[in-house]
Structure 1
């Protein structure tokens, strides 16, 4: 199953619902990239509005990594870099339970969802390094070398500085899968949707656990959201109405 796709026109990620043959709990699985067009994150937020709970990555605030990469792409004139923003999904406005399994690995949240001081340090360090890499490459589609297709069979190693356990999984993946198994065990018979919004590298493992261990299967009607595009005019990307997508 294809979960995220890089093409000659840009990068897009999927929205897939996993369900059980007999009904009950459904999982809305959304792999994300930490920088993209504003309407990409707006569309994700819109889809989350119909869910009864959300399992999200780290904390309810902007992504320092996404900010650094988006800034570096604009500085170096990357053709995919225009109008890019860092990931910033306002989970607090959804008024449903939000679970951050790996919250302790993120900076402490601050008031008004501003980026913490340690996040700005990360931006200051990472932005010039990435900008130099982009400039040296001489390409205006540098992003194409850094992200690519992700399938449910794709295997990623633990992230740098992640704590690997005897099972070979990083701590963040273990925490994420633990929450999924716990929710499944308690609410498996409930008619409800729970979303999983995590970076794309975590999602293949999530899908394999859902389908091979817990007995879910992908429902028809997988949707796709364009996170980064090279050529589409900006006015084509701006939604005009709340609820514009037929979820």
Structure 2
């Protein structure tokens, strides 16, 4: 199942609606990119206003580590020719209930410290290189096949599947956070399945395969429809 699509017309994100028999509650997954065209975020905002509950991503709190990591994409709109903006959706101003089950900066830092020192040093060395590359080539990357994503392991995933570095990286930046989200969604399924509500799950596209698998395997939900939103025109 395609989540982020690249084609000659540009890059698109699939808004996925998941349902299961016997449940009134439906999940609407919004695969997000940290940087996109203003029109993409406007389209997402418009649809979020129609939902009944928002479950959103976002490490809670401030830290030097989080600032450094997010710098790798925040530099892209600094290149004015890119036409890109950082995700600036003010979720709590939309008039819809918001839940944020993500980790705090302290918890994120704890996971970071659990990573072997040699890997942390490698990442600190890579961050400025990635930031420079994103500044000059971020738009080109968003319009390349490299950005494509589906719910199956990619060739890159398979290449690094036995990598100790990749395992630690995934655990710190993805796995534990995905599990916290799935626990929050399980609680909604348990307590609100009888309500006819649309629950928007607004997370980075990289988290979406794990979210879909969790809802399918643990709760019997299935993707039923998809609406394509343009992230960036070619």
State the TM-score, normalized to the length of structure 2.
0.71
* Shift, 1:22, TM fit: 3.3
2:169 aligned with 1:160: yes
Q: What is the RMSD computed on CA atoms of the aligned residues? A: 3.5
* Shift, 1:209, TM fit: 1.6
CA distance in 1, matches of 2:148, 2:197: 30
CA distance in 1, matches of 2:11, 2:168: 22
Give 1:171's aligned residue: 176
CA distance in 1, matches of 2:149, 2:171: 21
2:100 aligned with 1:96: no
Does the CA-based 8 Å contact 1:2-1:151 persist in structure 2?
A: yes
Give 2:229's aligned residue: 225
Give 1:52's aligned residue: 52
CA distance in 1, matches of 2:58, 2:192: 23
1:42-69 Cα offsets, whole Å, 9 max, x none, are 11111111111111001699x9666753
Q: 1:223 to 1:161 in 2, by over 3 A?
A: closer
CA distance in 2, matches of 1:158, 1:94: 37
Q: 1:126 to 1:87 in 2, by over 3 A?
A: farther
State the TM-score, normalized to the length of structure 1.
0.68
1:58-96 Cα offsets, whole Å, 9 max, x none, are 1699x9666753634764x8xxx6310001111111222
1:161-185 Cα offsets, whole Å, 9 max, x none, are 8449xxxx72211111111111111
Does the CA-based 8 Å contact 2:2-2:149 persist in structure 1?
A: yes
Aligned residues: 202
Which residues of structure 1 form unaligned runs of 5+? 108-124, 231-247
CA distance in 2, matches of 1:134, 1:29: 26
Give 1:142's aligned residue: 141
2:73 aligned with 1:69: yes
Which residues of structure 2 form unaligned runs of 5+? 108-124, 158-165
Secondary structure of 1:12 counterpart: strand
Q: Which has the higher contact order (CA 8 A, sep 6+)?
A: 2
Give 1:235's aligned residue: none
Q: 1:131 to 1:209 in 2, by over 3 A?
A: closer
CA distance in 2, matches of 1:193, 1:97: 11
